[in-house]
Amino acid sequence: MFDKQTLKKFETLETPFYYYDLDLLKKTLDRYSNERDRYSYHAHYALKANANERILSIIKSYGFGADCVSGNEVSLALKMGFNSKDIVYAGVGKSDKEIITALNGGIFSFNCESIPEIEVINNLAVGLGKKASISLRINPDIDAHTHKYISTGRAQDKFGISPWMFESVIRTIDNCPGIELTGLHFHVGSQITDLNVFELLCIRINDLQGWFREKGLLLKNINLGGGLGVDYSDPDAFPIPDFTDYFKIINKNLEVYPGQSVHFEPGRALVAQCGTLVSRVLYVKMGKGKKFAILDAGMNDLIRPALYQASHKLQNLTSNGRLMKYDVVGPICESSDRFGKNILMPETGRGDIVAIRSAGAYGQVMSMRYNQKPLAPEYYSE
């Protein structure tokens, strides 16, 4: 929740805007890095979750590398001072220009998703007189039990290389002087709340590693990606995900061989809870058997509810009225522009301030100018 002073500040500002609680961000990072360091694991923050420069520089100061999915993310990570040797780069569709940016940046690893991609990276690396370190992003055929649009590790998904292709991948790499195979990479989905998924993933990795070891291929690093979920329904009760249990499960189940390093790519779990989209109620309008609370923030500012049927906690911060039910919607000309149905809020009227919680991950970065709306600015607790 927000203290009186913060609320006062909100009342002076034009809405909608993103608000970041940097104190919570730092506590979250502190907790994560303690657990990470307990096992000497390496973590690369997934810039795609929130690429705000102020947030990036705080994250960097807690010893994170960067996980990128575009040439521009690689450039941003370098500009923000992330060590190039701590930058990993995934994505099924890396363009030549993006690959060259990463090669020139001297990144730690390309997480490669197909044979044609490996061949292109090889040609570009040879052309530049460089050798690219790559990890194979494996599609382990694991169901992450999350929304289908953010499941990435099932056989039918576009991501990664399936085990039946390993023979030909290795043959390809043998003919690529510009490529050095250094590891395996996995990322099976996002907003994963069932920790068994990570246990299954470890068991599958142990099995897959066996194949490479039999061929005499020693892999220096194993990257388990990101995916740990957050509590969207009660962000105040659970502001920080359970990193202790998460890493315990990995440590217990993953076989790590001497000389191997273990890597992670957390995004959402680090930044979701510190962000709030703050809006004002424009109108309350009667509908058939219901009331609509129409906000000035919409799917253009936070697309998660419209795209993934995601639910974010909604709070009227300024009314003390009796509880009533509202469909809380945005101003955009789409019926999917809805933050929640039948939401209990104190009696709501024009000008009330409504907070849309847990919006720090995949909020501002996915916002857009649909309907020619301006992009929401951001403010910080400090």
Judged by the rule CB under 6 A, the positions of this chain that interact with ligand LLP are: 46, 48-49, 67, 90, 150, 187, 190-191, 225-228, 265-269, 304, 308, 361-362
Distances (CA, A) of 69 to 49, 122, 171, 367, 373: 11, 19, 26, 17, 27
Contact 18, 376 (CB under 8 A): yes
Give the DSSP H/E element, type plus range, for residue 17: strand 17-20
- φ and ψ of 352, to 5 deg: -65, 150
Nearer to ligand LLP, 35 or 265 (CB): 265
- Nearer to ligand LLP among residue 17 and residue 89 (C-beta): 89
Retrieve residue 312's tokens: 């974010």
Residue 208 CB partners (closer than 8 Å, separation 6+): 138, 140, 163, 184
User: Which residues share a beta bridge with 134?
Assistant: 110, 181
Distance of closest approach, residue 321 Cβ to ligand LLP, in angstroms: 32
CB of 91 to ligand LLP, least distance (A): 8
Name the residue among 73, 105, 75, 69 with its Cα closest to residue 90: 69
CB closer to ligand LLP out of 87 and 228 = 228
Q: To the nearest whole angstrom, how small is the minimum distance from the Cβ of residue 111 to ligand LLP? A: 7
| Closer of 66 and 278 to ligand LLP (Cβ) | 66
User: At closest approach, how far in Å is the CB of 347 from ligand LLP?
Assistant: 31
Cα distance between residue 99 and residue 126, in whole Å: 12
Q: Which is nearer to ligand LLP, 228 or 281 (CB)?
A: 228
Q: How far is the CB of 176 from ligand LLP (least distance, A)?
A: 22
Q: Give min distance, CB of 122 to ligand LLP, in A.
A: 21
Closest CA to 101 of 91, 361, 303: 91
Beta strands 378-380 and 353-356: pairing type?
unpaired
H-run or E-run covering 209? helix 196-214
* Identity of the residue, 111 or 348, whose beta carbon is nearer to ligand LLP in the bound complex: 111
Distance CA 290, CA 303 (A): 23
* Cα–Cα distance measured from residue 6 to residue 99, given in angstroms and rounded to the nearest whole number: 44
Nearer to ligand LLP, 67 or 352 (CB): 67
Q: How far is the CB of 262 from ligand LLP (least distance, A)?
A: 15
Query: Which is nearer to ligand LLP, 272 or 353 (by Cβ)?
Result: 272
Question: Which is closer to ligand LLP, CB of 2 or CB of 62?
Answer: 62
CB of 292 to ligand LLP, least distance (A): 24
Of residues 232, 102, 208, the one with CA closest to residue 160: 208
Rg over CA atoms, the chain: 22
Residue 246 to residue 262: CA distance in whole angstroms: 14
CB of 77 to ligand LLP, least distance (A): 14
